[in-house]
Chain A
């Protein structure tokens, strides 16, 4: 049973397109995250949601819009994709009272 899953695993698209990445966790966790890992493997937090409420927004361009329809899902929609958006995007989740995060397998986004 996959704890944190992401779809798609790979995404290749043209500049200017709009795309979405989906994340689901079956751990019953209250908090979910999106991270971006660039080509140098630096891992930076983008967003955090707790019980469907946005908690952290780390100065991410407003082309990125997270949406949490319920506690188990946190989707990431990206408008007007740019070359610099090419990266691996990781979803993660954790319980509200413990700090261990469980990561999804990542979505490898390539913008051409």
Chain B
């Protein structure tokens, strides 16, 4: 069974500081990995995804994530956080089958201090 763990429930960073959100997954084969962002009162927006190839993937809004198979991790990073990045972040793992089930982590709430 596939699963996702986001160890940090809540993270607070200062505006301009760097950010890393952790994600660990469990999956029997090569995983497809995603990061979504949810702003307050909004739906989920895809930040980036990893299917194969280069293990460092670039996303929107200046985010990037690195797939590390040996650590079963897919951590999200941003070099300099903006106040507008305050939101809920979800990591997800899925398989490219017709069932198409994606499993989401429980989310990390990001607060940005001025």
Contacts and interface: CB of A to CB of B under 8 A. Distances in A.
Interface of A: 31, 33, 40-45, 48, 50, 55-56, 90, 92, 94, 96-106
Contact of A105 (B42, B95, B99, B107): B42
Contacts of B63: none
B100 A42 contact: no
What 5 A-B pairs have minimum CB-CB distances, sorted nearest first? A103-B44, A103-B43, A43-B104, A105-B43, A99-B94
Nearest to B103: A45
Interface in B96-113: 96, 98-104, 106-107, 109
Interface in B44-96: 44-46, 49, 51, 88, 90, 94-96
A99 B96 contact: yes
Given A45-B102, A56-B101, A105-B42, A99 B90 contact: no
A104 B45 CA distance: 9
Given A41-B88, A42-B107, A55 B100 contact: yes
A50 B90 CA distance: 24
A98 B34 CA distance: 12
Given A41-B107, A43-B90, A101 B102 contact: yes
A105 B45 CA distance: 10
A100 B46 contact: yes
Contacts of A94: 100
Contacts of B90: 43
Given A31-B98, A44-B104, A55-B98, 15 more contacts: A42-B106, A43-B44, A43-B90, A45-B104, A48-B99, A48-B101, A50-B98, A50-B99, A55-B100, A56-B101, A94-B100, A96-B98, A99-B96, A102-B46, A106-B42
A25 to B, nearest CB: 13
Contact of B100 (A44, A50, A90): A50
Contacts of B106: 40-42
Contact of A99 (B34, B88, B107): B34
